Amino acid sequence: MVDDTDSARSSEDTARALDPQAKADWRPRGRDFDARQHQDELLAIFAAVRAAPTWDQHALLRILARHGRDGKGSVPGYFCKIELVTAYQQLTAAGVLPFERAVLRRLQMKPVRTSSGVAPVTVLTEPAGCPGRCIFCPDADGMPKSYLPDEPGARRAAQCGFDPYLQVRTRLETFEAMGHAADKVELLILGGTWSAYSRKYREWFVARCLDALNEEAARSETGPSAGGVVAARSETGHSAGGVEAARSKTGHSAGDHPVTVSPCHQVTLSQTQARNETAPHRNVGLVIETRPDWVTPDEVVHLRRLGVTKVQLGVQSLDDRILALNQRGHDVAAVRRAVGLLRAAGFKLHLHWMPNLYGATPESDRADFARLWADPALRPDELKIYPCSIIAGTELYRIWQAGGYRPYTDEELVDLVADCKATIPPYCRVNRVFRDIPADDIVAGVKSSNLRQLAHARMAERGQVCRCIRCREVRGNAVGEEGLGLVVHAYETAGSTEQFLSYETAEGRLAGFLRLSLPARETCETFEVSETSKVWAAIPEIAGAAMIREVHVYGPALEIGAENAGEAQHLGLGRRLIAEAKARAAAAGFNRLAVISAIGTRRYYERLGFERGELYMAAPL
């Protein structure tokens, strides 16, 4: 009943968010709740929550059934979770109750949202032209290409008018209303091919996201044009396969919109970034998505100026025939080049792969998936598996109507995903196994949003397990130093030796890890023509240096400065992993260790002996 109440109130929140007058003052329903009006009932609830010897999804319902709003049990009038979280925060802040993190966690809504240690905040760029002509990609009015208005993230973005400040602000409010710490934020900027938007728009968009994290006052201004393909081509000289200028969803040719920025927006991006180093919500990771054929050395430099630390790359297939049939507009060689450039620059590599594309079969998809790990030019850090869906209005939909395309059955897809997951190496994290598309938008084929669970059940029947990072995270479980050991997985790539250093329990549960990249010695000694050498020529400060590409310690997201209560985040694992990386880089013959630091982690690395460069930080060895 709590969930039903929250769902009903969520729909009211949606209606309020759609009202332009309400946008600036939007808050999750329940945040205006006054705990003093129900203090006795609430104190009884919190005492019962604290005293419960075990906890599951039904425990809170049983407690609320005994303590209604009017002091009578077993009657309508439950407190919703947002009200409970708000009341607990109010009463502890007033000193009526001592703050106990374990109690707040029991009250949290959707605890899995921050179980990986950070609060993920997803925002979408405004609709604009796309250089791609993929036959499976939807092109809905009012949405960035490939996104549908019913997708949760897209719906939230539209409610905010695709304003980056409002999108971030409302997500932060929601996290805090649900009882989650939002001090450490991974910012995910989605919406299509990031590199095809104008640079003015991209810089403005990132700055406004950071303004929201910094809790700067909202500004009344019109942002720069999204620009689209024309603007991006004129800046980079890149033609994306000769694609003609796209038109934005508003009917304007890309680049038509006037740039109107108020005088108060004279604060530079670098100043906004500097403020975030000590902000209430620090950016500990910045993610964008783009196409392989738009990754160039010049683009890599600009990504770093923005503060980007991870790139989602739409690969979709590693078969040139399948890429051509689906009109992707690039080949596998472009994928290999893009991955090489990004890895050499220290970015985390998050690839998208799509089974059941036009022309594929379950067996060809199994062979295609194997190339991700067999090809040393690939071997991604993270992966999204997006089975191809038939969406009305796409070219693939017309091919299906004509009988030229057959979607996989549920059994075929579950078997395929189970087979793929059994082969994933321990250094890769599988973030998704099905895109968050509402079933009503999928015309034919598999609609099971719980495909991951179905695949795991199939694997269990076979006695198989998935070794990916996501399946091994400690999440909310308490861990102690005595139960952890250092594990090293080393593997070769086209331009480096990668070492995945991790602290794991005896059962293989992952408490924290570090990605150490050691450039190939021949590149360091001869500066041969390679993707690495191209990056070093564009970014001399990292030439010849070993690179920390990621440090991540798991457990529920904690407030900055919070005390340790058995969480992996506060066992000093990050410091120990960095010390180990320094020793290993020195032993391999490197005299400098660079790190692709996020904006909000710069001071952390300074305390560990790293010095600031123009785009990276580095420590002598």
Residue 90 sits in the same domain as residue 185: no
Q: In this predicted structure, what is the pLDDT of residue 73?
A: 43
Domain boundary residue, one of 438, 471, 504:
471
Is there a single domain that holds both residue 205 and residue 347?
Answer: no
One-letter-per-residue 3-state SS of 112-168: HHHCCCCEEEEEECCCCCCCCCCCCCCCCCCCCCCCCCCCHHHHHHHHCCCCHHHHH
Residue 117: per-residue pLDDT: 65
Q: In which domain, by residue range, is 515 found?
A: 481-620
554 pLDDT above the threshold of 90: no
Kindly state whether residues 369 and 298 are assigned to the same domain: yes
Residue 545 belongs to some domain of the structure: yes
Domain boundary (61, 81, 109) is at 109
The string of DSSP codes covering 325-392 is: HTT-S--HHHHHHHHHHHHHTT-EEEEEE-SS-TT--HHHHHHHHHHHHH-TT---SEEEE-----BT
Burial 256-275 (b: 16+ CB within 10 A, else e): ebeeeeeeebeeebeebbeb
201-229 tens-digit pLDDT: 999 999 999 999 998 765 545 566 665 44
> pLDDT above 90 covers what percent of the chain?
57
Residue 476 included in any domain: no
Burial zone of 95 (CB within 10 Å; 0-12 exposed, 13-18 middle, 19+ buried): exposed
pLDDT, tens digit (0-9, with 9 covering 90-100), for 136-182: 999 988 999 888 888 888 989 999 999 999 999 988 888 777 777 77
Query: Do the domain assignments include residue 137?
Result: yes
Residue 489 lies in a domain: yes
pLDDT of residue 227: 59
Q: CA–CA separation, 38 vs 32, rounded Å?
A: 14
Mean pLDDT of 17-28: 47
pLDDT (0 to 100) of residue 14: 38
Specify whether the CB–CB gap between 197 and 228 falls below 8 A. Answer: yes
Q: What is the pLDDT of residues 273-307, one digit of tens each?
A: 999 999 989 999 999 999 999 999 999 999 999 99
Residue 47 in this model has a pLDDT that exceeds 70: yes
Note whether 205 and 308 are same-domain residues. no
* Cα–Cα distance for residue pair 422/405, rounded to 1 Å: 28
**What 3 state SS string does 24-59 have?**
CCCCCCCCCCCHHHHHHHHHHHHHHHHHCCCCCCCH
Q: What is the structure's pLDDT at 116?
A: 56
pLDDT at 221: 54
Contact indicator for 272, 214 with CB cutoff of 8 Å: yes
CATH number at residue 585: 3.40.630.30
Tell me the mean pLDDT in the region 246-263. 34
Mean pLDDT of the residues in the chain: 83
Q: For the domain that residue 439 is a member of, what is the CATH number?
A: 3.20.20.70
Shared domain check, 87 and 132: no
pLDDT grade, residue 71 (50/70/90)? low
Flag whether 92 is in a domain. yes
pLDDT score, position 27: 56
pLDDT band at 247 (very low <50, low <70, confident <90, very high): very low
Instruction: Assess if residue 217 is contained within a domain.
Output: yes
Assess whether 446 and 565 both reside in one domain. no
Are residues 604 and 551 part of one domain? yes
pLDDT bin (cut points 50, 70, 90) of residue 15 is: very low
User: Is position 101 within any domain?
Assistant: yes
Whether 331 and 458 share a structural domain:
yes
Indicate whether 463 belongs to any domain.
yes
SS3 call for 402: coil
Count of domains observed in the chain: 4
Are residues 601 and 557 part of one domain? yes
Helices 81-93 and 2-18, packing angle to 10 deg? 90
Do 282 and 296 lie in one domain? The reply is no
Q: Pairing relation of β-strands 382-385 and 348-353? A: parallel
- pLDDT tens for 256-270 read 333 333 334 446 899
| Mean pLDDT, rounded, for 535-540 | 96
Whether 104 and 17 share a structural domain: yes
Q: Angle at the Cα of 434 (from 433 to 440), degrees rounded to 5?
A: 165
Find the range with the poorest average confidence among 26-35, 230-239, 394-403.
Answer: 230-239
- Of 22 and 94, the structure prediction assigns the larger pLDDT to 94
Q: Does 274 lie in the same domain as 302?
A: no
Q: Which of 447, 471, 495 is the last residue of a domain?
A: 471
